[in-house]
């Protein structure tokens, strides 16, 4: 790619010829405000907050869509630019629900930050009729409040990027809203509840369905034995909510905080991830040996499972029947754990802290009640846990480290890496290889299936047979791969699919990262580093070596994929309509 040289505020900047003015400015550390722009996903120029003055041009231009060219001169802070940006922001605010103090995004809202930056003290405009729009809380996972929507369309771009595309802009002028087809409740369309729209939203128009009130009610009830489990990706991101650098692992502090919040037992979902590998790995060995229902496709991601049910129902038989680690743990807690501790399972309140909004949906699926009641009673996002810690007045950064409780505090590095794309496959292959080969796998870090490529492939020889695997993250990439398989253009034995780009580390329940910061750092990579470092420092790095899992099979399940294991740890799926 050839370069061009332009001037921005009289500073010479040389950049690739396919850059926009916004990209050129950022490469030179020159700040241009944006609202609708989202790096790599949304580039519309609709909010007009990034307008700049170009020498010789008749009008101000949107920097996020205007291409650079040789010799142009750009000015980002002239009186005309400042006036236009402020007026455009005031127009956006004119029809916005400004109840900032009671909004979940208070102090973490891009619109609020821009208002402060632009010195908005009073509004010059008021929206037509100031309409009060209905709030859609029909979903199990999130709430849509169009009164706080600024029509930036970032959520639409996120949904399109997931090739789900259940929302779009409808109507015109002041009647414009982001909505579903025929304005149906989101629960009645083929949304997969991945929450990528929430991560993209700059305001509080999209938020997770709150589970904090019912969790606190359970904690305050002396008759309830409240157990909490935490997913691996949570520890890789929770620290961001308290000012720690992105990618800082905070496992010990997180456990301490949960104990201070009043949970009776704090367990590690990674233990259940090891259990999942034993079940799913055994299932793969059985299918691969018989050459039946291949490729086996992982089922840990409820967003991916729902996507498969709606958009590729012909592949539901290929999904692993093994439940996700969260649901396996829920079933074990209300069966084995309840029996071992002489606790009535009806008195157990099982909470999961997840990086995912779709987990709220998964917890309420009818199939997830093998223990006789819903195996998981509440699913908190990473953001909700942070909110609980702040509300309790806990100084998170200065907390000492604590250990998870027994008997489910022991996990391997294989369980930890579940949170990053490729982690489930890598963990599974560590065990499958050693079970079939009867010897140790020398290199535990499988480079071909790590990283952020959308589709990754690898081939291993196990017991004299070639095993072809693929790893996919983001449902857009899943669609591409599955279409290739349907067309006979690709063939695999084992596939890992995660609904969220980057895997659970970038789940819809993780800390919100502004568009500006997302343009500067790859959130997925930084958070994944925390998980890989924990794996590398783990004493045990293979799921089948976990003593807690060995004991669980010896005392309760007998062996992986036993009759009892199938009753509690496995599930089935539903072929659904797209519409």
- 283 within domain boundaries: yes
| Of 104, 560, 20, 537, the residue nearest 321 (C-alpha) | 560
Q: Give the CB-side neighbour count of residue 202, counting CA atoms within 13 A.
A: 27
Last-in-domain residue among 93, 124, 158: 93
- pLDDT level of residue 124 (50, 70, 90 thresholds): confident
Regarding whether 101 and 40 lie in a shared domain, the answer is no
Residue 127: per-residue pLDDT: 67
Please report which helix (H) or strand (E) contains residue 12, including its range: strand 11-16
Q: Residue 140: which CATH number?
A: 3.30.70.20
Question: Is the domain of 79 the same as that of 192?
Answer: no
Q: Is 577 within the bounds of a domain?
A: no
Rounded to two decimals, the pTM is 0.95
Per-residue pLDDT reduced to its tens digit, 173-218: 888 999 999 999 999 999 999 999 999 999 999 999 999 999 999 9
Residue 232: partners with Cβ closer than 8 Å, 6 or more residues away? 269, 270, 273, 415, 416, 417, 418, 419, 504, 531, 534
C-alpha span between 169 and 432 (Å, rounded): 48
Residues 6+ apart with CB under 8 A from 533: 249
The mean pLDDT value for 453-461 works out to 93
User: Does residue 563 surpass a pLDDT of 60?
Assistant: yes
CATH of the domain at 558: 3.40.50.1780
280 classed as catalytic: yes
Q: Same domain, yes or no, for 340 and 459?
A: yes
Tens digit of each residue's pLDDT (9 = 90 or more) over 246-264: 999 999 999 999 999 999 9
Tell me whether residue 504 is one of the annotated catalytic residues. yes
pLDDT at 451 over 60: yes
Mean pLDDT of the chain, nearest integer: 95
Residue 231 is assigned to a structural domain of this protein: yes
**End of a domain among 179, 208, 237?**
208
What is the SS3 string spanning 402-417? CCCCCCCCCCCHHHHH
Nearest to 468 by CA among 308, 279, 291: 291
- Any idea what DSSP says for residue 182? G
320 is an active site residue? yes
* Predicted local confidence at residue 95, as pLDDT: 85
195 and 235 together in one domain: no
Query: CA–CA separation, 137 vs 104, rounded Å?
Result: 15
Does 100 lie in the same domain as 71? no
Residue 130: pLDDT band (50, 70, 90) is: low
CA angle 372, 376, 377 (to 5 degrees): 95
Asked if residue 331 is part of any domain, the answer here is yes
Tell me what pLDDT residue 541 has.
93
Using alpha carbons, list the distances in angstroms from residue 537 to 45, 267, 342, 530. 46, 20, 36, 11
Average pLDDT value for residue range 231-250: 97
Above pLDDT 70, what percent of the chain? 99
**Cβ atoms of residues 517 and 239 within 8 Å:** no
Please, which pLDDT band fits residue 518 given cuts at 50, 70 and 90? very high
384 to 182, 195, 242, 322, 350: CA distances (angstroms): 32, 14, 13, 27, 16
Residues 302 and 400 in one domain: yes
Residue 359 shares a structural domain with residue 272: yes
Q: Which two tokens stand for residue 67?
A: 């291409």
Q: Which of the following is catalytic: 39, 110, 208, 280?
A: 280
Specify whether 558 is catalytic: no
Please write the tens of the pLDDT for every residue from 347-385.
999 999 999 999 999 999 999 998 888 999 999 999 999
Q: Is residue 232 part of a domain?
A: yes
- Tokens found for residue 517: 């910061």
Which tens digits make up the pLDDT trace of 532-541?
A: 999 999 999 9
* Residue 132 a catalytic site member: no
Question: Quick one: 394 and 513 in the same domain?
Answer: yes
Decide if pLDDT at 470 tops 60.
Answer: yes
Rounded to whole angstroms, how far apart are CA atoms 135 and 138?
A: 9
Both 255 and 155 in one domain: the answer is no
Q: CA 158, CA 200: separation in Å to the nearest integer?
A: 7
Catalytic residue among 109, 191, 197, 504: 504
555: closest CA among 335, 382, 343? Answer: 335
Q: Which of 158, 187, 208 is the last residue of a domain?
A: 208
* Catalytic residue status for 103: no
Catalytic residue (one of 141, 190, 301, 320) = 320
In a domain, 579, yes or no: no
Within this chain, do residues 551 and 498 fall inside the same structural domain, yes or no? yes
Q: Is residue 574 part of a domain?
A: no
Q: Which residues of 18-55 are buried (b: 16+ CB within 10 A; e: fewer)?
A: ebbbbbbbbeeebebbbbbbbbebbbbbbbbbbbbbbe
Q: Could you give the number of structural domains in the chain?
A: 3
User: What does the pLDDT read at residue 123?
Assistant: 83
Q: Are 233 and 507 in contact (CB under 8 A)?
A: yes
Give the tens place of pLDDT for each residue, 34-73. 999 999 899 999 999 999 999 999 999 999 999 999 999 9
Report the chain's terminal Cα–Cα distance, integer Å: 43
> Among the options 286, 367, 445, 457, which is catalytic?
367
pLDDT at 129 over 60: no
In a domain, 499, yes or no: yes
Catalytic site residue from 53, 208, 240, 283: 283
Token pair recorded at residue 550: 């060995």
Dist. CA 426–CA 444, nearest whole Å: 8
- 336 and 393 housed in the same domain: yes
CATH of the domain at 62: 3.10.20.740
> Residue 183's CB: how many other CB atoms inside 10 A?
11
Give the confidence band of 437 by pLDDT, cuts at 50, 70, 90.
confident
Q: 149 and 298 in one domain?
A: no
pLDDT value at position 407?
87
Q: Judge whether residue 475 has pLDDT over 90.
A: yes
Q: Is the pLDDT of residue 445 over 90?
A: no
Domain range for 34 is: 3-93
Of the residues 103, 149, 300, 356, only one is catalytic, namely 300
């Amino acid at each position: 790619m050839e370069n061009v040289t332009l001037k921005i505020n009289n500073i010479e900047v040389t950049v690739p010829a396919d850059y926009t003015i916004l990209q050129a400015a950022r490469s030179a550390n020159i700040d241009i405000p944006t609202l609708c722009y989202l790096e790599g996903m949304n580039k519309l120029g609709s909010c007009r907050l990034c307008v700049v003055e170009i020498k010789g041009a008749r009008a101000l231009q949107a920097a996020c869509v205007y291409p650079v060219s040789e010799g142009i001169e750009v000015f980002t802070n002239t009186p005309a630019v400042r006036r236009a940006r402020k007026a455009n922001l005031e127009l956006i605010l004119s029809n916005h629900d400004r109840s900032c103090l009671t909004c979940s995004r208070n102090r973490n809202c891009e619109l609020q930050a821009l208002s402060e930056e632009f010195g908005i003290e009073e509004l010059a405009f008021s929206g037509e009729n100031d309409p009060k729009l209905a709030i859609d809380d029909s979903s199990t996972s999130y709430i849509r409040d169009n009164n706080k929507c600024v029509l930036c369309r970032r959520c639409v771009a996120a949904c399109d990027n997931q090739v789900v595309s259940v929302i779009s802009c409808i109507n015109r002028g002041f009647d414009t809203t982001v909505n579903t087809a025929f304005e149906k409740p989101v629960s009645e369309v083929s949304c997969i509840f991945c929450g990528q729209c929430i991560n993209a939203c700059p305001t509080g128009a999209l938020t997770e369905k709150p589970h904090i009130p019912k969790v606190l009610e359970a904690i305050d009830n002396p008759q309830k034995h409240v157990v909490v489990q935490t997913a691996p990706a949570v520890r890789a991101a929770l620290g961001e909510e308290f000012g720690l650098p992105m990618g800082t692992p905070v496992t010990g502090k997180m456990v301490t905080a949960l104990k201070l919040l009043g949970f009776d037992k704090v367990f590690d979902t990674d233990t259940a991830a090891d259990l999942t590998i034993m079940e799913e790995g055994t299932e793969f060995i059985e299918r691969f040996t018989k050459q039946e229902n291949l490729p086996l496709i992982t089922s840990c991601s409820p967003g991916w499972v729902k996507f498969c049910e709606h958009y590729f129902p012909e592949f539901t038989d290929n999904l692993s029947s093994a439940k996700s680690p969260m649901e396996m743990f829920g079933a074990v807690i209300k069966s084995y754990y309840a029996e071992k501790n002489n606790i009535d399972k009806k008195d157990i309140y099982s909470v999961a802290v997840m990086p995912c909004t779709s987990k709220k949906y998964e917890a309420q699926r009818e199939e997830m009640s093998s223990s006789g009641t819903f195996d998981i009673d509440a699913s908190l996002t990473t953001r909700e846990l942070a909110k609980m810690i702040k509300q309790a007045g806990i100084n998170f950064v200065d907390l000492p480290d604590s250990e998870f409780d027994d008997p489910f505090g022991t996990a391997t590095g294989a369980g930890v890496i579940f949170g990053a794309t490729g982690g489930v496959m890598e963990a599974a292959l560590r065990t499958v290889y050693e079970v079939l080969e009867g010897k140790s796998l020398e290199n535990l870090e499988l480079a071909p299936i790590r990283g952020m490529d959308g589709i990754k492939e690898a081939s291993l020889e196990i017991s004299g047979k070639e095993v072809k695997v693929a790893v996919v993250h983001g449902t857009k990439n899943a669609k591409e791969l599955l279409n290739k398989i349907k067309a006979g253009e690709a063939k695999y034995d084992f596939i890992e699919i995660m609904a969220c780009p980057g895997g659970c580390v970038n789940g819809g329940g993780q800390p919100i990262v502004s568009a500006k910061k997302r343009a500067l750092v790859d959130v997925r990579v930084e958070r994944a580093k925390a998980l890989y470092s924990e794996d590398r420092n783990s004493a045990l790095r293979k799921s089948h070596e976990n003593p807690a899992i060995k004991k669980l099979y010896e005392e309760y399940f007998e062996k992986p994929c036993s009759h009892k294991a199938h009753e509690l740890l496995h599930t089935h799926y539903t072929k659904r309509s797209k519409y």
